[in-house]
A and B are shown apart, each in its own frame.
Chain A
Amino acid sequence: MGDAVRSGEKVVSVQNVFKEFRRDQNSIPVLRGINVELDACEYLALMGPSGSGKTTLLNLIAGLDRPTSGNVIVCGQNLGQTSEGDLARWRSRHIGFIFQLYNLIPVLTAYENVELPLTLTPLNRRERDEHVKAALQVVGLADRMDHYPRQLSGGQEQRVSIARAIATDPTLIVADEPTGDLDAKSASEILDLMQRLNTEFEKTIVMVTHDPAAAARARRTLHLEKGVLVNDVSSAR
């Protein structure tokens, strides 16, 4: 965990953020004055209708994009003022990504997919091997590490992608509809796993979802509507 977190600061601090996309002459306002703070070990579900700006907000928090105005401070870094190259390096250290369509590299085995983000770290081969095996152990796929993505079920692929997200031991995990493409049983397994990451491994998680059942697993739920946060529900778990 980063130093900023240890000293009691917020992991995520979104301050009065506006985001517009420009298309030709028009600018489309997508986020309009967002304020959110997340403590360490929080698990936030972000809900809202399609087009309300959930992915846009998630991308800002993950350092994939920069706000039009306002501040996004994550793990002590003000992302709006960070160069693209530095952002890439920062993401590799602090963020784990889980996508709706898993987005594993088809030509790499489960093991190699999990190893991929580790190749950006100074770890040597043996240390990488330990990390990869530990991560695959957590998601219960140690026995499938030599399989290619096409040899795995959707749920298994998503578990590999979770292993990839946690291999570097990031502070924050962002997940954009991680169960959106799965059947109920696989979805429930994924949600169990994410809950474990939160409780057992103390990861801070932001998850976008359309599924109220998924949102119910989080500690806190936020609703976005037309670029504004409408209500903040902390579920008593």
Chain B
Amino acid sequence: MKSLKYIWRNITRNRLRTVLTVLSVGFSLSLMTVLYGYMEAQESWGTEAAKYNRIVVMNIQGFFGQLPISSVEKIRNVDGVRAAVPYAWYGGTYQDKPMPFAQFATDASQAFQVWDEYKLPPEQLKAWQENRQGCVVDRRLAERWGWKIGDRIPLKGTSYQFDLDLQLSGIFDSPKNTDSLWFHWIYLDEGLQQMNAPVTGNAGTVFAKIESSDAIPGVIKVVDERFASSDNPTRSQTEAAFAQMFTDMLGNIQAYIRNIGLAVVFSLSLVAANAMAMSMRERVTEIAVLKAIGFSKGRVLGLILGESCLIAMLGGLFGVGVGCAFLQVLHIGIPQFFPFPIMEMIGPWTGAGLLVAAGIGLVSGLVPAVRAAQLSVIDGLRRVV
């Protein structure tokens, strides 16, 4: 591996230029990694959601429309519905931290029937149901904050003018980190009523568990028909479609970011190409000498492409590393949006990142390499004389 040593020496001969090129390639690839990580997260949410035969009912106007609490009972009565609960976003602060984790007001009587893949010991469920201020949390959330059963968890309202004084009744296990806390919808609503809040009796959205996936289209049709002529017409959809909606809200932005990402990758490969061309210009005589002593065109081409690819791939490793680290921070910080463990993805992403980087390396090295291979030895040698 004699030429690898030579390539490496050439890479380190102008350290500043190499570092800048590595950084520019690294930057573009860390951007790509985070972007694709985000899209991966969205996708995994959708495919995960399709497994559990749940539907989401909301006001036809979307998140800002209301759904009266009475609709929960009406949905429960539809054929094929096994269980249904209100599910309202509270969005309070904990210890003055905004958005510390997700908090939902729901119904303890059926919540663990709607999400029957979540496991909560029966005595903890009973304790929650019997405690008006009780709440249950995802195990990972309890571990993160060091909560034990019986601990007090005070939340300060932000969108609601009502603070919650919760007590931990149970800790549930779920297949993926939900980063969620559930408390009684009724506790929130009574508090709002006492304060004469403008909006009360609002279920927010309703999540329902359906008997089988075959029954879902029928149930959706019946539910939406039943509410069609009410004050609050509904729009029902599968949980997967609901997840997709979040993605779609960002849809255009996503295409936008993707294109910008590609543009950044492309422009940075031009930057790398320029750096490569510059260092080749400085080495014209050297290349002529190599060719004079018998290096073939192919060998010269290989040396230079090897150099540009190695630089770009160093950038790729750096970029994927930074990108994954950033995703890991997101995974820890806002796990409800980035529920999957980054570590599982590092392998394939590093592979893909290196592949893209090698592509950048080839693109950036191609012109200088072909030029060097075509260089006339006598012209190259004449430059110094």
Contact = CB atoms under 8 A, between A and B. Distances in A.
Interface string A79-97: 0000011001101110001
A65 B378 contact: yes
Contacts of B377: 64-65
Contact of A59 (B12, B285, B378): B378
A105 B385 contact: no
A105 B9 CA distance: 10
A92 B293 contact: yes
B296 A108 contact: no
B381 interface: yes
A119 B296 contact: no
Interface in A95-151: 97, 99-101, 103, 105-108, 112, 115-117, 119-120
Given A103-B285, A115-B2, A64 B292 contact: yes
B10 interface: yes
Interface residues of A, number: 29
Contacts of A59: 378
A32 to B, nearest CB: 19
Main secondary structure of the interface of A (DSSP, over half): helix
Interface string A18-62: 000000000000000000000000000000000000010001001
Contacts of A108: 6, 9
Contacts of B381: 64, 99, 103
Nearest to B6: A108
B13 interface: yes
A103 B289 contact: yes
Contacts of A164: 293
Contacts of A93: 294
A115 B293 CA distance: 12
B286 interface: yes
Given A88-B294, A91-B293, A119-B2, A55 B385 contact: yes
Nearest to B381: A99
A85 B13 contact: no
B2 A64 contact: no
A89 B296 contact: yes
Given A64-B377, A99-B381, A101-B384, A107 B294 contact: no
B156 interface: no
B296 A88 contact: yes
A107 B292 contact: no
Contact of B295 (A64, A88, A107): A88
Interface in B124-163: none
B296 A107 contact: no
B109 interface: no
A137 to B, nearest CB: 21
Contacts of A64: 292, 377-378, 381
A107 B13 contact: yes
Contacts of A99: 289, 381
Contacts of A107: 6, 9-10, 12-13
Contacts of A116: 290, 293
6 nearest A-B pairs in the assembled complex, by CB-CB distance: A92-B294, A107-B9, A103-B289, A117-B293, A91-B294, A119-B2
15 contacts: A64-B292, A65-B378, A85-B297, A88-B294, A89-B294, A92-B295, A97-B292, A99-B289, A101-B385, A103-B286, A103-B381, A105-B286, A107-B13, A116-B290, A120-B293
